[in-house]
Amino acid sequence: MQDLQDLNGDSKLLRIFIGERDKLGHQPLYEAILFAARKHGMAGCTVLRGIMSFGAGTVVHTVKLIDISEDLPIVVEIVDKEDKINAFMPILHEMMEKANCGGLITIEKAYVLYYSHRKKT
């Protein structure tokens, strides 16, 4: 397990934009990414479900009642040190290729001010 103090300071935020219907085999791609990140010792990963989006195909995906989409936007965010993010990129790239899906991957600077786990009471 990663030393919690190692994450404080300069880190990176990896963002993966995919669709809710994207699958890796029979598993949702977002779930596969989260468990792969956990397996590879990443500091943290969060999956966010969007309410509206469009991407390279310009198709609008929305949660509006009249036009219920079965492919809402999903954003997977992973925060860790740059070397860990870089080491995870080939794994992520392979997953995206196997899933044969569209998407967008970005890496941004992140300055971690606080990183801790819940204390046992």
Going along the chain from its start, the domains and CATH numbers come out as 4-110 (3.30.70.120)
pTM: 0.83
- Per-position DSSP letters for 41-52, written without gaps between them: T-SEEEEEE-SE
Rounded CA-CA distance 6/92 in Å is: 23
Per-residue model confidence (pLDDT) at position 2: 46
Q: Across residues 20-43, what is the average pLDDT? A: 96
Mean pLDDT to the nearest integer, 41-47: 95
User: What's the CA gap between 89 and 20, in Å, rounded?
Assistant: 21
Provide the mean pLDDT of the chain: 86
- pLDDT at residue 51 in the model: 75
